[in-house]
Amino acid sequence: MSRVELVLVRHGVTAWNKDRRFQGHIDIPLDAEGERQARRAARRLAAEAGGPLPIGAVYASDLSRARQTAAPIAEALGLALQDAPGLRERHYGAFEGRTGEELQREHAEAFNRWRAREPDFPLPGGGESLRAFHRRVEDALLALARRHPGQRVVAVTHGGVLDCAYRVATGLDLAAERRHDLLNASLNRIGWDGERFSLLGWADVAHLEHSEDDVEARAWR
């Protein structure tokens, strides 16, 4: 099978990113800075469109912050924007809409178990377990890679999805502490050789002036 490169883009920044609130499945739009980041990412990817692997498709999670980021990218590349619901952010259940400080007061036990990265712990309020989320993301990445042999694919997604993708590409255990960045509007590249994924590049924000890390970057551990 021909090789594939997936260029995974985290959505631009939102007001809730800046407040360090869990967004999950709540449909929060980009703020003005996030819209600027999306345009910068679009220009960057358009400038890179040539090369040995053509950019053959642009996908986005079905949440508006991802679609708002992906729209100028698709336009700049002259491609239709396609849906990738499997790349939606993790369902954080009762955590959604809250900050870490609020969760430490209101759901201390569950919050501490989330911080400990227990793979099979389903988050309260109908949230996904880490293992189920990781499986969903891996399946979505495999589907994209198999659909576009010999191409580059741009997929706009979320911080939690990027964390799973990094672990898929590197073999990092689900329970291992995160030390890799998950930056808004960053370009993160993984390769597929027909058998396995590999890491090609990570947290590239050369096109930006500033980028926020994922909510997990808070010093709660």
Q: Which residues contact 137 (CB under 8 A, 6 or more apart)?
A: 86, 87, 161, 164, 165, 168
**Rounded Cα distance, 184 and 10, in Å:** 5
The strand pairing partners of 21, in sequence order, are: 99
Tokens describing residue 47 = 């400038």
Q: Residue 173 class from Cβ within 10 Å (0-12 exposed, 13-18 middle, 19+ buried)?
A: exposed
Strand-by-strand arrangement of the 152-157 sheet: 81-83, 55-60, 152-157, 4-10, 187-192, 197-204
Catalytic residue among 5, 33, 89, 212: 89
Q: How many CA atoms lie within 13 A of 209 on its CB side?
A: 5
Contact 201, 86 (CB under 8 A): no
89 given a catalytic annotation? yes
Instruction: Report, as residue numbers or ranges, the catalytic residues.
Output: 11, 89
